Amino acid sequence: MKVGVIGSGYVGLTSAACLAHMGHDVVAADLDPDRVARLNKGDVPILEEGLPRLVAEGLASRRLRFVVGAPNAARDAELVLICVATPQGDDGSADMSFVAAAAREIAPVLRPGTVVINKSTMPVGSTRFVHRVLHEAAGGQLDRVTVASNPEFLREGQAVRDFLNPDRIVVGCDDPEGAVKVSDLYRSMRAPVIVTDPASAEMIKYASNAFLATKISFINAIANLCEAVDADVREVALGMGYDPRIGFQFLHPGPGYGGSCFPKDTAALLHTAQRHGYDFALLEGVIAVNERQYDLTVDKLRSAVGGEFAGAVVGAWGLTF
């Protein structure tokens, strides 16, 4: 299939390289001409196992190209993946300005029948939002263009492995033909495909990240309590994890979650709840525990260096997040 990818950052670059590896013809766009020039030489700006090899393979087979400007990737595509950033806005909501700008840029060049795929993490209502922006930007001339939600679940550090071996593929689309086209993109993968309505697909991504954040805050809260009662949280997590309903993953106490997704996605979900009048006290607690954990970590460090940071040499381990 002919695929256009808008945004060649973490998700866009990984998606583009992996889709080309799977046999699709992929044109990936970015705003940054230096990044595009580097990528066309096979120079991969992020550290991800296997990614340089897939990019080199894609460039050599001509199934992968990088271009400046979203329209140049969208013009001939049957499927266009929007992979631009959706950072946290001032009020906690997801900032959709990059998405809107990308949609406005591609609207005039989309072929009839194209499916635009929201791959970035976008709040409930975003497929309708993107369709509206496309429609307006095309001056009402949008011909049979469908918008679908297809959230990405890859983890930084394991991006290629996660993209090529997904636990599940989620497709949210009101149009059955559009849903089939998006599913076909992943036909060679052995993974369950959940085809659902757009709102549910969008919620699946936020609910998944919020649930993982909840596990982290829960074990951090238990760790703090363990310290107070002289119990060992590692033993507690081990004893909990053997229960298959609980599992071992995300039961590692630490300095709190960070990174490019959990903080902004939990804030955005909370914002959605507030906007719809739902008091999501549980999620508020998860976020509050996490923020307190940062302070607790600093307190622990301070006491470890004798009460005063000035002049101390501090090693940081695990810089990914």
Ligand X SMILES: NC(=O)c1ccc[n+]([C@@H]2O[C@H](COP(=O)([O-])OP(=O)(O)OC[C@H]3O[C@@H](n4cnc5c(N)ncnc54)[C@H](O)[C@@H]3O)[C@@H](O)[C@H]2O)c1
Token duo for residue 60: 């050599």
Cβ 61 to ligand X shortest distance, Å = 23
Cβ 105 to ligand X shortest distance, Å = 6
Please identify, using beta-carbon distances, which residue of 2 and 292 lies nearer to ligand X.
2
Asked if 178 is part of the footprint of ligand X (rule: CB under 6 A), the reply reads no
- Find the part of the chain contacting ligand X (CB under 6 A) among 10-18, 53-61, 138-146, 215-223: 10-18
Task: Looking at residues 46 to 75 of the shown chain, list those that interact with ligand X (rule: CB under 6 A).
Answer: 70
Asked if 183 is part of the footprint of ligand X (rule: CB under 6 A), the reply reads no
Burial class (CB in 10 A: 0-12, 13-18, 19+), 34: exposed
Distance, first Cα to last Cα, the chain:
35
**From 4, 7, 178, 256, residue interacting with ligand X (rule: CB under 6 A):** 7
Task: Looking at residues 240 to 279 of the shown chain, list those that interact with ligand X (rule: CB under 6 A).
Answer: 260-261
- Of 39, 105, 104, 115, nearest to 77 by C-alpha is 115
* Dihedral sign for Cα atoms in the order 295, 296, 300, 303: positive
**From 3, 4, 8, 127, residue interacting with ligand X (rule: CB under 6 A):** 8
**From 3, 11, 226, 233, residue interacting with ligand X (rule: CB under 6 A):** 11
| Residues 151-170, mask of contacts with ligand X (x by CB under 6 A) | -x-x-x--------------
| Residues 23-42, mask of contacts with ligand X (x by CB under 6 A) | ------xxxx----------
Cβ 251 to ligand X shortest distance, Å = 21
Is 261 marked active-site? yes
**Closest residue to ligand X, based on beta-carbon distance:** 9
Strands (E), the chain: 2-6, 25-30, 64-68, 79-82, 115-118, 146-149, 169-172, 193-196
**DSSP at 207:** H
d(CA 197, CA 201): 6
Q: Is residue 68 within 8 Å of 36, Cβ to Cβ? A: yes
Token duo for residue 51: 């990614």
**From 27, 39, 86, 226, residue interacting with ligand X (rule: CB under 6 A):** 86
**From 25, 48, 105, 202, residue interacting with ligand X (rule: CB under 6 A):** 105
Cα dist from 55 to 90, 97, 136, 166, 212, whole Å: 36, 29, 35, 20, 31
Task: Looking at residues 134 to 153 of the shown chain, list those that interact with ligand X (rule: CB under 6 A).
Answer: 152
88: Cβ–Cβ under 8 A, 6 or more apart, which residues?
A: 94, 95, 263, 264, 267, 268
Burial class (CB in 10 A: 0-12, 13-18, 19+), 320: exposed
- Find the part of the chain contacting ligand X (CB under 6 A) among 9-17, 226-234, 282-290, 295-303: 9-17
Residues that are catalytic: 261
Binding site for ligand X (CB under 6 A): 6-12, 29-32, 70, 83-86, 98, 101-102, 105, 120-121, 152, 154, 156, 260-261
